[in-house]
Chain A
């Protein structure tokens, strides 16, 4: 079998493009509705490039949470890129600067597509798929953030329920076994129990403690 290339990465990503664009447009619209204006969501997509974390920080701040809570929620969600980065590290060759740039294109989807089994990753496929995703993510965010205002009051449109729906859609594919489901339920329980007493955003960060279940094996 010939070694896969940059083009193979781009091609493998193509079927996901519509979904990614839709996801990016909804981020732009929801960020705009949460008071982010039009420029900040675009800058965030270009610099952070991690969908679920961006949604989380926007929803925490939009609900009146503090900057610290919004940042903590996003970074906790992105902690998974620590181990993911370590898994691809042996395959990212070149200067530290090249490795740094390649690392930015690692997101769940590009990482999955670049996997070649037995812990091997193809750096060119990762680069092709990641770059394609990046362009779609930033362009879609721009469309959503700029046109978002035309949509009117987010509450009448039910956009507030869109956040919960989106997180449910992100949770289901990663809830692979019972431990994941228990962690999700425990996280939900902690967050709801703390909501009446703690400032907005804090219950979400506190709920991350549910992951300590992972210590039990």
Chain B
């Protein structure tokens, strides 16, 4: 439980610091374009990694299981422009059902 609170505290302090840095310190100078280009790709890179590990990671090993079905259903729902909450519920339901029948 101490780990949970450490994460909550450190992420909170870090995020507040990042969010306030520009407005509090800077007079609105634009970022150098190269740095802006790198920061622009940070979120996609991290999301790609999170998706891969959440879908195939099983502790220290990789596994293909019912989660793949859920993620595939999510992909379909996103493609059909479903709202995020619907995407999440459909993915969980598909995986849950696949587990129940297998």
Contacts and interface: CB of A to CB of B under 8 A. Distances in A.
A196 B41 contact: no
Contact of B41 (A52, A84, A180): A180
A192 B60 CA distance: 10
Interface string B43-71: 11111111111111101111000110111
Interface residues on B, range: 35 or more
Given A22-B83, A99-B24, A160 B54 contact: yes
Interface in A99-157: 99-100, 102-104, 106, 155-157
Nearest to B8: A44
B14 A162 contact: no
Contact of B44 (A48, A99, A181, A209): A181
Interface of A is mostly: helix
Contacts of A184: 44-45, 47-48, 51
Interface string B73-89: 11100100001110111
What secondary structure prevails in chain B residues at the interface with A?
helix
A215 B28 contact: no
Contact of A74 (B14, B36, B60, B94): B14
A210 B41 CA distance: 8
A63 B7 contact: no
Interface string A31-75: 000011100100110011110111011010101100100110111
Interface of A: 18-19, 22-23, 25-26, 35-37, 40, 43-44, 47-50, 52-54, 56-57, 59, 61, 63-64, 67, 70-71, 73-90, 92, 96, 99-100, 102-104, 106, 155-172, 174-175, 179-181, 183-192, 195-196, 200, 203-204, 207-215, 217
Given A96-B24, A99-B20, 19 more contacts: A22-B83, A40-B5, A78-B15, A78-B19, A80-B42, A158-B96, A158-B99, A161-B91, A167-B50, A169-B87, A170-B84, A171-B51, A184-B44, A189-B52, A192-B53, A192-B62, A210-B45, A211-B39, A214-B39
